[in-house]
Amino acid sequence: MLKLFITKAINLTIKRPYFLVKRLFISIGTIVNKSGRRKECNICGKTLNNFLPYRQNYKLDAYNEILDWVGSDVKNFACVHCRSHDRERHLFMYFDALDLWNEFSNKKILHFAPEAHLSKKIKELEPSLYVQGDFNPKYLFEGNSDILNIDATDIKYNDEYFDFLICNHVLEHIVDYKKAFSEIYRVLKKNGKAILQTPYSRTLSKNFEDPGIQTNLQREVLYGQHDHVRVFSEKQFFNDLNEAGFTLNIQKHDSLFDVNTSFRHGVNKLEDLVLVEKDKEIQVG
């Protein structure tokens, strides 16, 4: 009883004020950040001082630099106003610059791990069918009944069914990614397009994955995130896409945007758009 009393007293006199002060500082920081004008979210249109980092203590370490790792802008991750993340803002930039929004009206779309702002925009464009899927929709999107349980390595739709497919930073979570490539290729119509973003290394000549790497900590340190299953090599990633039958139509960030734009919108200027296409059958004769 005495012990309980002492514990409660400590909580009230030490811990609670500490957390209240901490929350106060965070609130003040958020207000200051939201009133800044250094950066601008290209989705909600609001300005801010800085996008929030992927994790509070995240540091770009030497390992990432050695691997010449291309992926998210982890230092400029979330918008403090609309919570959009850098990968979603980057797709909006590419879709605007390349006029890819035209690909959605009256078309059949398959969108894996759908981002909230992007899916809202796609719905407004009135596709003839918009399928949102994830391998574990209950875990990721609790309460959103629009998202179906779809395994990218076993897509339960007919051949040549979809016009456009979006798979934004999903492949690094999939063990049998080559099966996912063949499934995506199979369900795309001829002339169909897919966006297949994933982090990759420009240093590695082959993918790095090893069955001995099993724990969350090992994956976190060696693959960059606890639920990633490899580090893709850019070279192997593109080769494997070619082998799956896709034509690569990589859109270079540098050729579409200047440095100021990528800084202002908080996106990784090294991350190009991996746009792939399923060609029409060549007519013989």
Q: Where does this chain bind Zn ion (CB under 5 A)?
A: 41, 43-44, 79, 81-82, 84
CB of 268 to Zn ion, least distance (A): 17
One-letter amino acid for residue 202 of the chain: R
CB of 48 to Zn ion, least distance (A): 8
Which is nearer to Zn ion, 84 or 201 (by Cβ)? 84
Which is nearer to Zn ion, 33 or 182 (by Cβ)? 33
CB of 42 to Zn ion, least distance (A): 8
CB of 49 to Zn ion, least distance (A): 13
Which is nearer to Zn ion, 39 or 107 (by Cβ)? 39
Which is nearer to Zn ion, 84 or 168 (by Cβ)? 84
Q: Report the C-alpha gap between 129 and 108 in whole angstroms.
A: 5
Q: Which two tokens stand for residue 87?
A: 């990968």
Q: Report the C-alpha gap between 110 and 279 in whole angstroms.
A: 18
Which is nearer to Zn ion, 115 or 183 (by Cβ)? 115
Phi-psi region of 99 (alpha: psi -120 to 50; beta: other; left: phi over 0): left
Q: What angle do CA 87, 89, 50 make, to 5 degrees?
A: 95
Beta strand segments in the chain, E: 39-40, 47-48, 69-70, 108-112, 129-134, 147-149, 162-168, 188-197, 200-201, 232-233, 247-248, 275-277
Contact 162, 110 (CB under 8 A): yes
> Which residue has its beta carbon closest to Zn ion?
41
CB of 36 to Zn ion, least distance (A): 13
